[in-house]
C-alpha cells in the first residue's frame, strides 16, 4: 500500500461519506468552536456528560475527509464511555498521531481509529485529524467544570 492509500483508507472514506453522530444536539453542558487557522477547517462541538460518562457528543464540522472522518470516529469511540476511559482513548489517539508513523496502533483501544495510522506520516494533515479531538477534550473539560 502506498502512502496515499495508507492515508485514505476505506474506513476513513466511509466515515467521511457517512459520518456518525453528526449534527448538533441537546442536551449539552459545553459547546466549543475550534479552527485550524492555516487551512480554515472548523468544528463546532457539544459534549454532554452524565454520571461521569460521556453521554453524547454532537458536532457540526466543515473540512477535509480526514478531519470529518476523525470527528465521526471520535464519537464512536467516546460516546458511552466513562470520562476517564474516554480521555485515555484520547491520549492513545494523540500518541498515534504525533508518532510520525513510528507508533503501532492498538486496535483494541482505537477500533476504526487505527485507520488514521497513515495520517501520522503527513505532518500537515495531523492537525486535521486532531481538530475534533482537541475540541472534544476542551468541551469535556468545560462540561466537568460546569457541573462541579
Interacting residues with another protein (CB under 8 A): 2-4, 7-8, 13, 35, 37-42, 62-66, 68, 122-125, 128
Query: What is the closest distance, in whole angstroms, from the C-beta atom of residue 76 to another protein in the complex?
Result: 21
Strands 53-62 and 30-35: unpaired
Q: Which is nearer to another protein, 46 or 125 (CB)?
A: 125
Q: How far is the CB of 122 from another protein (least distance, A)?
A: 7
When the beta carbons of 36 and 53 are compared against another protein, the nearer one is 36
- Closer by beta carbon to another protein, 68 or else 92: 68
End-to-end C-alpha distance for the chain, whole angstroms: 49
Question: Which residue number, 62 or 88, has a Cβ lying nearer to another protein?
Answer: 62
List Cβ neighbours of 24 (8 Å cut-off, separation of 6 or more). Answer: 31, 44, 46, 58, 59, 60
Distance from C-alpha of 103 to C-alpha of 19, rounded to nearest angstrom: 26
Exposure string of 43-71, with b = 16+ CB inside 10 Å and e = fewer, is bbbbbbbeeebbbbbbbebebbbbbbbbb
**In what helix (H) or strand (E) does residue 106 lie, and over which residues does it extend?**
none
Q: How far is the CB of 93 from another protein (least distance, A)?
A: 19
CB of 40: closest distance to another protein in angstroms?
4
The nearer residue to another protein, 4 or 104, going by C-beta atoms, is 4
Q: d(Cα 72, Cα 51) in Å, to the nearest integer? A: 23
Amino acid at each position: 500500500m502506498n502512502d496515499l492509500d495508507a492515508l485514505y483508507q476505506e474506513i476513513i472514506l466511509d466515515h467521511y461519506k457517512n459520518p456518525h453522530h453528526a449534527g448538533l444536539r441537546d442536551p449539552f453542558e459545553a459547546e466549543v468552536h475550534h479552527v485550524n487557522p492555516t487551512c480554515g477547517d472548523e468544528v463546532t462541538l457539544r459534549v454532554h456528560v452524565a454520571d461521569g460518562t460521556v453521554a453524547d457528543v454532537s458536532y457540526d464540522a466543515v473540512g477535509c475527509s480526514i478531519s470529518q472522518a476523525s470527528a465521526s470516529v471520535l464519537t464512536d469511540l467516546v460516546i458511552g464511555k466513562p470520562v476517564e476511559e474516554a480521555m485515555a482513548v484520547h491520549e492513545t489517539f494523540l500518541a498515534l498521531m504525533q508518532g510520525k508513523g513510528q507508533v503501532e496502533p492498538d486496535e483494541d483501544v482505537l477500533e476504526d481509529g487505527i485507520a488514521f495510522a497513515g495520517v501520522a506520516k503527513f505532518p500537515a494533515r495531523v492537525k486535521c485529524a486532531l481538530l475534533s479531538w482537541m475540541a472534544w477534550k476542551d468541551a469535556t473539560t468545560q462540561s466537568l467544570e460546569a457541573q462541579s
